[in-house]
């Protein structure tokens, strides 16, 4: 309203002593799992979803980021995972969990075999981002561009009408996470993003500085990352005892 009067209507309200305050956005403390709870969920999730969740937690990835990974994005030489054009529109690299190197290597071999079979059956193309299909028309059949976590079946791409293999559906991953949490008897409200929250919180508890965590998560603003300092502060309230326990 002050902006309207000053900038649009040209009425100066400086001397009116209007003490207006901006409405504050409500801040929610994210749900975080303990290390033991993360382990229990991973132990109870089956199939390829086990590796997906381990990678989400191990690298702090969003669901869209982990599902969009291509074979070329895993760098075993430098132990890095490359995230291209993430939500913050800023590419970044994340340390690859050493524990996952063998599993990811086996997964890449499996995807390569699936891709070879698709090519033999007349399929084998993959969706290419950022109009790269026009710039590099043959790349859509390259093994390195195939999704790291593909669907079990090929399907028709509504954009191009081509029969191709897309990545795992987000809803399918979400259902498997919920099922695993239920099996593990964890009653917190868990989603795929919970593992990203847990990754950041556990790094902070381990002593990683907040700026490094900001870069790893790909946050534009440090304010977004600062929520995890509040989470750790809340978790440290365990030292404060309830008077009922006296």
Residue 62 falls in the annotated catalytic set: yes
User: Which candidate in 165, 167, 196, 197 is catalytic?
Assistant: 196
Q: Judge whether 27 counts as a catalytic residue.
A: no
CB 81 within 8 A of CB 69: yes
Name the catalytic one among 141, 166, 183, 193: 193
Residue 166 annotated to the active site: no
Asked about 197 being catalytic, the answer comes back as no
Return all residues near 65 (Cβ < 8 A) that are at least 6 apart: 83, 86
Answer yes or no: 196 catalytic: yes
* Candidates 49, 57, 199, 228; catalytic one: 228
The dihedral formed by the CA atoms of 84, 92, 180 and 232, expressed in degrees to the nearest 10:
-150
Burial label for 159, CB within 10 Å (0-12, 13-18, 19+), is exposed
Q: Are 61 and 216 in contact (CB under 8 A)?
A: no
Catalytic-labelled residue, pool 40, 62, 70, 140 = 62
Tokens matching residue 56: 């989400």
Q: Which of 6, 39, 87, 188 is catalytic?
A: 87
Active-site residue numbers?
A: 62, 87, 193, 196, 219, 228
């Amino acid at each position: 309203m002050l902006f309207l009067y000053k900038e649009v209507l040209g009425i100066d309200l400086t001397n009116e002593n209007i003490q207006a305050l901006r409405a504050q956005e409500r801040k929610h403390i994210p749900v975080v799992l303990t290390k033991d709870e993360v382990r229990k969920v991973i132990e109870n999730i089956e199939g390829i979803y086990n590796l997906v969740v381990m990678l989400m937690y191990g690298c702090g990835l969003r669901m869209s980021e982990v599902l969009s990974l291509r074979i070329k994005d895993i760098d075993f030489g430098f132990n890095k995972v490359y995230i291209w054009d993430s939500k913050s529109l800023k590419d970044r690299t994340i340390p690859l969990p050493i524990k996952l190197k063998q599993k990811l290597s086996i997964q890449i071999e499996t995807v390569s075999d699936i891709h070879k079979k698709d090519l033999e059956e007349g399929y084998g193309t993959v969706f290419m981002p950022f109009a790269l299909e026009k710039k590099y028309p043959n790349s859509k059949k390259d093994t390195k561009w195939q999704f790291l976590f593909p669907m079990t079946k090929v399907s028709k791409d509504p954009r191009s009408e081509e029969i191709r293999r897309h990545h795992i559906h987000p809803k399918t991953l979400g259902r498997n996470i919920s099922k695993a949490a239920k099996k593990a008897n964890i009653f917190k409200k868990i989603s795929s993003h919970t593992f990203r929250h847990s990754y950041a919180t556990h790094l902070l508890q381990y002593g990683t500085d907040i700026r490094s965590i900001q870069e790893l998560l790909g946050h534009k603003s440090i304010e977004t990352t600062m929520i995890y300092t509040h989470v750790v502060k809340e978790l440290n309230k365990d030292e404060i005892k309830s008077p009922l326990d006296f």
